[in-house]
Amino acid sequence: MSRIGKAPIALPKGVEVKINNGLVTVKGSKGELTQKVDLDINVAIHEDQILVTRPTDQKRHRALHGLYRSLIANMIKGVSEGFKTEQELVGVGYRATNKGQMLELSLGYSHNISFELPKEIKVTTTAEKGQNPKIIMESADKQLIGMVAAKIRSLRKPEPYKGKGIKFVGEQLRRKAGKSASKK
């Protein structure tokens, strides 16, 4: 069996789960999320935990078993605790400001970039003296916050020589040595 798939998912207090014809709905203090589950995969609630089972050991069923267990576990964690992503802008003159759901980025291009965020994501920007500007995003949906963070990062990926660009806080970049002077 799948090690991830066979692990039960604990239900914290205040989280309500409904399973209806292949659609799992999770409701908690941070919001409500839904996920369509393949009809071959069985999702059941036993006491204060959720069990995900598969009918056979086919390769497709084994793959879906762990996938849906992880997706449901992320939904439960999201509506109870939430997810947070922090990115920092490394580079001279790089700035980030936000007005509501509109993120305004200055990344060294000839123009500023306006990026509208989905309403499910709460964004804040910080710019402290002596530190790189930061973009902090919070949401209950792990998939959505990951996709938005990846899209923001793709606007100016960190380059390997000086490390300039948008990177996640704590991310280790692979750095390259620059040109070295030739000796005659």
CATH 3.90.930.12 intervals, the chain: 9-80, 83-168
CATH for the 83-168 domain, from 3.40.50.2300, 3.90.930.12, 1.10.510.10, 3.40.50.1860: 3.90.930.12
Question: 9-80 belongs to which homologous superfamily?
Answer: Ribosomal protein L6 (3.90.930.12)
Burial of 13 (0-12, 13-18, 19+ CB in 10 A): exposed
Rounded Cα distance between 184 and 182, Å, is 7
Q: Going residue by residue through the chain (184 aa), what tens digit of pLDDT does each one get? A: 468 888 999 999 999 999 998 899 999 999 999 999 999 999 999 889 999 999 999 999 998 999 999 999 999 999 999 999 999 999 999 999 999 999 999 999 999 999 999 999 999 999 999 999 999 999 999 999 999 999 999 999 999 999 899 999 998 989 998 887 666 6
Amino acid at 134: K
**Cβ-based neighbours of 133, under 8 Å, separated by 6 or more:** 88, 89, 94, 95, 96, 125, 126, 127
Please state the separation of Cα 150 from the chain's center in Å.
8
User: Is residue 9 within 8 Å of 50, Cβ to Cβ?
Assistant: yes
Q: What is the pTM of this model?
A: 0.88
Give the residue ranges of DSSP H helices in 43-179: 59-80, 142-154
Amino acid at 101: Q
